[in-house]
């Protein structure tokens, strides 16, 4: 008969324990889980990236619903256990479910420490423990400007960085003189403070919180010295306490946490405790590595193998804030019996400190350059006598034994039992063996089979090197197509990092993302310029030297080096005055060819570059602006005559086309955008092969998108039907803004839509009104800076140098 295993709590520790359990004895237990949170097991370490917008909740799920079904687990979501009856061997939830157990695992985790100050229960005061907290913070970030984070430890700083990335004005209030004083020495704490301050986060140290102020909700924080910091959101991140109430009520032995032996047994032999709620050997833990170790040991004991025993190990600490490299391990307090080796490079922002006792490393603090963390950790763990390499120790593994090694050789030199992934306790040998045994070929495979780099991800580079080392040339990391030869990052990654790191110049992107070339190439520079123009309207200064010649001189270069010029004809409608002005320009500048384009306007070809400003000046006087026929931007909006003239016309298609064009001209997009509006389903404006098209019908406007009629031919997809012109405009603008924000440079709408899914586009721009309005708002904001006629700017003298030769060297002078 199968035994009953009941687990209270569904965090990372019990999730991992079950994985081990099913590996050891798949059918031995019938498992029931009670989770006070209404969801499955997700990676809490990754809450910070969710807060900062670098990841979505779906990306951090460890066990999806399918996993529970596959293993026959009964998961009660949103059930809090209120009582354990040890004599009857049952537990009871707040929703009235009672479940019997043979073995019980308590994994209730921890509760945030809420400062006992007045106002600590006001609405607007949050902690930072689970997804609900993150969602509440994101909601606050949307509508409110100021946040105070109480606590400058790991959690508080991650919260602060996340909220700051969400454009909140953030102040961190910290009781101690330096940040993260439990993990960092004062020097590294200071460097960290400088870095965070340079990102706009205000930091007040030695600050004791006296009260949270506010009548009906939080309005500010008052410090003991009388200072008041206004805040609409107050995040308490001043520490955690093991959650022991339930165990205490059940009469189990408690100190700081629920007392367990080194086999994870509580004082009741049928009850185990693991995770942040457990106390073993006088320690309670908050980092994932020891918690996973508890999980492994509990699984063994529950299945009858009593040999594994929990042993305390120092765990390295890393801060998960993008762009800040920080590593700390072990003991780094000063002491008479200790020596230290310090390397400081203020300019490069590097600080390394090793603390030695009897020629062995006992502690390490690395800031700015942390790649040797694993090696130092290994030396510490194995208690290696470092006397021989003392002179060069601080420079890292690459500098041991003469010539510098390349990073691959450094990884090759690591012993098999060197720990690669600290979070999951995976050593090099385990990764190599698994790759060979299971014939793994990708990083994702390795993550799936060994868990290495599957939690915080900071060892990803090391794991990749182990893969490369094991597979040799067979390793092909090109899952993501790099943007160009200057980087290994793909377009999506670069776009994400530009936003996440707040990079606002091309130089900053190349510096921060470690471009291999000094100033990029003709592939990446225009792409980066577009991403920055799109992401930081009004803040980023367009770099014309990174634009293709056509966008630099606002005309189309031809094979002989002359240019063609296409003025805008709104919706393809023109007049005698306009045509006369064009005729005059053609005569005056001897323009050799005049051609009607496919986009319902007139192209003048063969204009000398020097003549461009004068041509534009004349066209401008007649009321013409640039048609952007050269731009990765809005080109034409083709129309038919619609209900004004046509006996079949159902709506004013010409009017709508002109309205769209006047609203959207000047916007830059990843690739060109061509539109059309047809007045009836006969579709004379050919709207069903455009990037965005509208087919007018009696009942309204059918919006189409993702068509193509160039290299590829593809009919459009129907986004949906809307009733009014206003709605049509709003949906179209939102769609284009979504495309602007998400697509890769030079990727047309039809390719982008295919990649992310037609339904997803529809969901975000048609069905989700809130998102639609947000997209619309961002487009309107961007247009404030984009909707400037580039021709008139240049007629007024902008970029004069573009249109004139630097010098003319006459024959006589050259012959002198």
Partner 1 sequence: MHWTAIGTLSDIPQRGARCIETPEGKIAIFRTGDNRVFAIDDHCPHKGGPLSQGIVHGASVTCPLHSWVISLETGKALGADEGCVRTIPVKVEDGKLYVALNLNAERAA
**Least CB distance to partner 1 at residue 526 (A):** 7
Question: Which lies closer to partner 1 via its Cβ, residue 641 or residue 746?
Answer: 746
Question: Which lies closer to partner 1 via its Cβ, residue 527 or residue 735?
Answer: 527
Neighbours of 151 (CB within 10 A): 26
**Least CB distance to partner 1 at residue 419 (A):** 41
β-sheet with 556-557: strand ranges across: 556-557, 563-565, 602-607, 593-596
Q: Is 307 in the site for partner 1 (CB under 8 A)?
A: no
**Least CB distance to partner 1 at residue 50 (A):** 37
Binding residue (CB under 8 A) for partner 1 from 60, 549, 594, 718: 549
C-beta pairs of 583-587 under 8 Å, 24+ apart in sequence:
584/618, 585/615, 585/618, 585/619
**Least CB distance to partner 1 at residue 666 (A):** 22
Question: Which lies closer to partner 1 via its Cβ, residue 517 or residue 575?
Answer: 517
Q: Is 806 in the site for partner 1 (CB under 8 A)?
A: yes
Binding residue count for partner 1, defined by CB under 8 A: 33
Q: Is 475 in the site for partner 1 (CB under 8 A)?
A: no
DSSP string of 410-476, one letter each residue: HHHHS-TT-EEETTTTEEHHHHHHHHHHHT--SHHHHHHHH-TTSSS-TTHHHHHHHHHHHHGGG--
CA–CA gap between residue 261 and residue 268 (Å, rounded): 11
CA–CA gap between residue 2 and residue 102 (Å, rounded): 10
Question: Which residues make Cβ contacts (< 8 Å) with residue 798, sequence separation at least 6?
Answer: none
Residue 82's SS3 state is: strand
**What residues between 28 and 47 interact with partner 1 by CB under 8 A?**
none
Q: Is 541 in the site for partner 1 (CB under 8 A)?
A: no
Q: Is 175 in the site for partner 1 (CB under 8 A)?
A: no
DSSP string of 40-54, one letter each residue: -EE-GGGHHHHHHTS
Question: Which lies closer to partner 1 via its Cβ, residue 58 or residue 816?
Answer: 816
Question: Which residues make Cβ contacts (< 8 Å) with residue 126, sequence separation at least 6?
Answer: 133, 136, 137, 140, 233, 234, 235, 236
Question: Which lies closer to partner 1 via its Cβ, residue 479 or residue 811?
Answer: 811
Which backbone phi and psi does 171 adopt, to 5 degrees?
-120, 130
Question: Which lies closer to partner 1 via its Cβ, residue 336 or residue 560?
Answer: 560
Partners of residue 8 on adjacent β-strands: 34, 106
Q: Is 816 in the site for partner 1 (CB under 8 A)?
A: yes
**What residues between 203 and 262 interact with partner 1 by CB under 8 A?**
none
**Least CB distance to partner 1 at residue 807 (A):** 4
- Per-residue CA distances from 151 to 103, 121, 286, 591 (Å): 38, 17, 16, 70
Binding residue (CB under 8 A) for partner 1 from 548, 597, 754, 768: 548
Angle at 801 between CA 795 and CA 802, to 5 degrees: 75
CA–CA gap between residue 191 and residue 195 (Å, rounded): 6
Question: Which lies closer to partner 1 via its Cβ, residue 630 or residue 752?
Answer: 630
**Least CB distance to partner 1 at residue 776 (A):** 33
Stretch that binds partner 1, among 58-66, 267-275, 453-461, 807-815 (CB under 8 A): 807-815
Q: Is 801 in the site for partner 1 (CB under 8 A)?
A: yes
Question: Which residues make Cβ contacts (< 8 Å) with residue 782, sequence separation at least 6?
Answer: 534, 537, 667, 737, 740
Q: Is 282 in the site for partner 1 (CB under 8 A)?
A: no
Question: Which lies closer to partner 1 via its Cβ, residue 91 or residue 527?
Answer: 527
Binding residue (CB under 8 A) for partner 1 from 337, 559, 576, 797: 559
Quick check: 555 and 563 in contact, CB under 8 A? yes
Question: Which lies closer to partner 1 via its Cβ, residue 373 or residue 526?
Answer: 526
**Least CB distance to partner 1 at residue 556 (A):** 11
Binding residue (CB under 8 A) for partner 1 from 544, 592, 593, 757: 544
- Segment (H or E) for 85: strand 81-85
Question: Which lies closer to partner 1 via its Cβ, residue 412 or residue 519?
Answer: 519
Binding residue (CB under 8 A) for partner 1 from 561, 647, 698, 770: 561
Binding mask 493-532 for partner 1 (x = CB under 8 A): ------------------------xxxxxx--xx------
Q: Which positions touch partner 1 (CB under 8 A)? A: 517-522, 525-526, 544-550, 552-553, 557, 559-561, 801, 805-811, 813-816
């Amino acid at each position: 008969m199968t035994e009953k295993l009941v687990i209270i709590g569904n965090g990372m520790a019990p999730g991992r324990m079950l994985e081990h359990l099913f590996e050891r004895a798949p059918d031995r237990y019938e498992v029931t889980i009670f989770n006070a949170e209404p969801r499955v097991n997700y990676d809490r370490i990754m809450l910070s990236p969710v807060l900062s917008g670098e990841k979505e909740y779906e990306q951090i799920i460890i066990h999806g619903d399918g996993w529970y079904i596959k293993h026959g687990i009964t998961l009660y979501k949103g059930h809090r256990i209120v009582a354990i009856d040890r004599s009857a061997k049952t537990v009871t939830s707040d929703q009235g479910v009672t479940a019997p157990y043979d073995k019980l695992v308590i994994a209730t985790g921890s509760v945030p420490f809420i400062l006992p100050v007045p106002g600590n229960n006001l609405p607007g005061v949050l902690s930072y423990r689970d997804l609900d907290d993150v969602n509440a913070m994101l909601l606050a970030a949307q509508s409110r400007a100021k946040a105070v984070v109480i606590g400058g430890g790991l959690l508080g700083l991650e919260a602060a960085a996340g909220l700051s990335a969400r454009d909140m004005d953030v102040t961190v209030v910290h009781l101690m003189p330096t940040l993260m004083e439990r993990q960092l020495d004062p020097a590294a704490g200071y460097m960290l403070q400088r870095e965070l301050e340079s990102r706009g986060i205000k930091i007040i140290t030695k600050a004791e919180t006296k009260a949270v102020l506010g009548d009906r909700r939080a309005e500010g924080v008052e410090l003991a010295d009388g200072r008041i910091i206004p805040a609409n959101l107050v995040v308490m991140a001043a520490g955690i306490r093991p959650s022991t109430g339930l165990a205490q009520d059940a009469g189990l032995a408690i100190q700081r946490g629920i007392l367990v032996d080194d086999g994870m047994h509580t004082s009741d032999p049928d009850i185990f405790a693991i995770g942040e709620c457990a106390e073993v050997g006088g320690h309670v833990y908050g980092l994932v590595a020891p918690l996973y170790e508890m999980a492994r040991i509990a699984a063994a004991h529950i299945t009858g193998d009593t040999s594994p025993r929990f042993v305390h190990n120092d765990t390295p600490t890393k801060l998960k804030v993008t762009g800040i490299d920080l590593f700390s391990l072990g003991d780094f307090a000063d002491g008479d019996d200790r020596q230290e080796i310090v390397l400081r490079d203020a300019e490069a922002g590097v600080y390394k400190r090793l603390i030695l006792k009897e020629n062995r490393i006992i502690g390490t603090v690395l800031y700015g350059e942390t790649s040797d963390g694993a090696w130092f950790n290994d030396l510490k763990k194995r208690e290696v006598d470092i006397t021989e390499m003392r002179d060069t120790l601080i420079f890292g593994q690459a500098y041991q034994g003469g010539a510098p090694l390349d990073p691959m050789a450094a990884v090759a030199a690591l012993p098999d039992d060197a720990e690669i992934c600290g979070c999951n306790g995976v050593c090099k040998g385990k990764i190599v063996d698994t790759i060979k045994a299971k014939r793994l070929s990708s990083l994702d495979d390795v993550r799936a089979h060994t868990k290495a780099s599957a939690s915080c991800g900071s060892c990803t580079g090391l794991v990749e090197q182990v893969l490369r080392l094991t597979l040799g040339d067979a390793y092909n990391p090109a899952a993501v197509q790099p943007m160009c030869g200057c980087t290994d990052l793909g377009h999506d990654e670069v776009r994400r990092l530009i936003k996440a790191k707040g990079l606002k110049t091309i130089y900053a992107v190349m510096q921060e993302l470690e471009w291999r070339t000094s100033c990029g190439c003709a592939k990446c520079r225009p792409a980066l310029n577009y991403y920055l123009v799109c992401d930081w309207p009004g803040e980023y200064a367009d770099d014309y030297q990174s634009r293709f010649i056509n966008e630099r001189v606002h005309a189309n270069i031809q094979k002989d080096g002359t240019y063609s010029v296409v003025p805008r004809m709104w919706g393809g409608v023109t007049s005698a005055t306009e045509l006369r002005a064009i005729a005059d320009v053609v005569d005056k500048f001897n323009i050799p060819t005049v051609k009607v384009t496919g986009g319902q306007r007139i192209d003048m070809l063969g204009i000398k570059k020097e003549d461009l400003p004068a041509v534009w000046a004349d066209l401008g006087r007649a009321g013409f602006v640039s048609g952007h026929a050269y731009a990765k931007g809005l080109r034409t909006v083709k129309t038919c005559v619609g209900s004004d003239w046509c006996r079949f016309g159902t709506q004013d298609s010409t009017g709508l086309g002109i309205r769209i064009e006047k609203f959207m001209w000047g916007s830059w997009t990843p690739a060109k955008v061509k539109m059309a509006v047809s007045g009836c389903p006969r579709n004379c404006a050919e709207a069903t092969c455009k990037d965005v098209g509208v087919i007018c019908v009696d009942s309204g406007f059918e919006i189409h998108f993702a068509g193509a009629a160039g290299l590829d031919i593809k009919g459009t997809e129907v986004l949906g039907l809307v009733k009014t012109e206003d709605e049509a405009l709003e949906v179209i603008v939102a769609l284009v803004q979504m495309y602007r924000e998400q697509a890769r440079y030079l990727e047309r709408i039809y390719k982008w839509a295919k990649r992310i899914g037609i339904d997803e586009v529809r969901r975000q721009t048609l069905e989700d009104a809130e998102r639609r309005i947000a997209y619309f708002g961002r487009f309107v904001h961007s247009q404030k800076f984009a909707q400037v006629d580039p021709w008139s700017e240049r007629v007024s003298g902008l970029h004069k140098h573009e249109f004139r030769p630097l010098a003319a060297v006459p024959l006589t002078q050259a012959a002198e």
